[in-house]
Structure 1
Amino acid sequence: MTFKAFLAGAALLSLSTAAYADIIVTDAYARTSMPGAKTGAAFMVIENTGEMPDQLIDVRSDIAVKVELHTHQDQGGGVMKMVHVEEGFAIPAGGSHALARGGDHVMFMGLSAPMVQGETVPVTLVFEKAGEVQVEIPVDLERQDVPGMQQGMTHGMEHDMQGMKPKN
């Protein structure tokens, strides 16, 4: 293979890779439910401007012992339970997926330090096709709750917190 052919192939590969998924994160914020809480969450809108669907399959951050993709399941009787979504969330081609309070979200368990209004939280979103996308999510403790979403919500007992210690 000539050097010219190699360069042409590399250029074509880089162009075709970009068409898989182009991820844009908007309206992101992170918060805890109360000062000193050991859990927190992040919310955002994830847009895929690419031509192929993608899947958010993992999330990482150093601010907590455990970071997972979560959603709410209706347990009946007005009780909602937060659960880990191992398969992640689909992000359609040319579409978006909202991670919002009362629905899908990023969950931080065993926070190593309190979330502080105005600071940012470093988070890595991991996609099947787009790979790793690093975002700095602003902490907004003042954003109002969705009316009625906190009633009947259970969380602490659904997570195995054994062996989890905050990082120093």
Structure 2
Amino acid sequence: MGLTFYSVPRHHRQGIPEMKYCLSVFVLALALVAPAAMAHDYSQGPVTVDHPWSRPTPPGTPMGVGYMSISNNGSSDITLVGAATPRADNVSIHETSMHDGVMRMAPVKEGLPIPAGTTVELKPHSFHLMLEKLESPLREGESIPLTLRFEGAQEMQVELNVEPLDGEVMKKQSMDHSGKEMDHSGH
């Protein structure tokens, strides 16, 4: 009982370079399209929401955050008046600001205005969404359904992607607390 080896006939091998070329073109096209698919932008009417994301939360942490850019591409002003998710009892809009060397965080009770033709960023140490009384921790890689409610535009469904806190993100978001206090009395 001997082993038999087969080779591809020469006339079948002639198509291999063309297949490699087609495969290379396909991989290149996929590489160009994949970042756009990962960007997770949402558009509805005059509103575009870009890169909604959150951070992982440790077990037992009752609050999470939501960040994104919201663009008003219309000719009328709109206001983000609230949000909701099945993952938290309440979602509120907050602003973090520095006053007399003290970092303060307070709810934005009247909503967040987004004038026509502008973009508002919800980001660390600025405007953000507070996901209060989480039902369970937010885990890296999850997508959290979120409904954004507007005055002047229809409510919108988006998903917060829970993204890792890598070194670059940590550098941008870290705060020097030396000699500073955090005031949460606005809650």
* TM-score bucket (shorter structure): 0.7 to 0.9
Gaps of 5+ in 2: 1-44
Query: Highest Rg: 1 or 2?
Result: 2
- Offset, 1:94: 1.4
Compute the TM-score of the two structures, normalised by the length of structure 2: 0.66
Residues 76-123 of structure 1: CA deviation (Å, up to 9, x unaligned): 22x212111011111121111000100000001211011011111111
Gaps of 5+ in 1: 1-20, 160-168
Count the aligned residue pairs: 137
* 2:128 counterpart of 1:105: yes
Instruction: State the one-letter code of the partner of 1:154.
Output: M
Whole-Å separation in 1 of the counterparts to 2:92 and 2:185: 16
* 2:110 counterpart of 1:76: no
Q: Contact (CA 8 Å) 1:102, 1:149: kept in 2 or not?
A: no
Percent identity, please.
Answer: 31
Residues 17-75 of structure 1: CA deviation (Å, up to 9, x unaligned): xxxx611100221114x522221101000011111111111111121122100001324
Q: Contact (CA 8 Å) 1:56, 1:128: kept in 2 or not?
A: yes
* 2:53 counterpart of 1:25: no
Instruction: State the one-letter code of the partner of 2:100.
Output: G
Return structure 1 stretches of 4+ with deviation > 2 angstroms. 145-159
Matches within 5 A, 1:33-72: 34-36=57-59, 37-72=61-96
- Offset, 1:131: 2.3
* Structure (1/2) with the larger helix percentage: 2
Compute the TM-score of the two structures, normalised by the length of structure 1: 0.73
Q: 1:141 maps to what in 2? A: 164
Q: Contact (CA 8 Å) 2:124, 2:173: kept in 1 or not?
A: no
- Offset, 1:150: 6.3
Give the CA RMSD over aligned residues.
Answer: 2.0
- Offset, 1:126: 0.7
Q: 1:5 maps to what in 2? A: none
Whole-Å separation in 2 of the counterparts to 1:150 and 1:60: 32
Q: Contact (CA 8 Å) 2:53, 2:68: kept in 1 or not?
A: yes
Whole-Å separation in 1 of the counterparts to 2:176 and 2:144: 23
Q: 1:123 maps to what in 2? A: 146
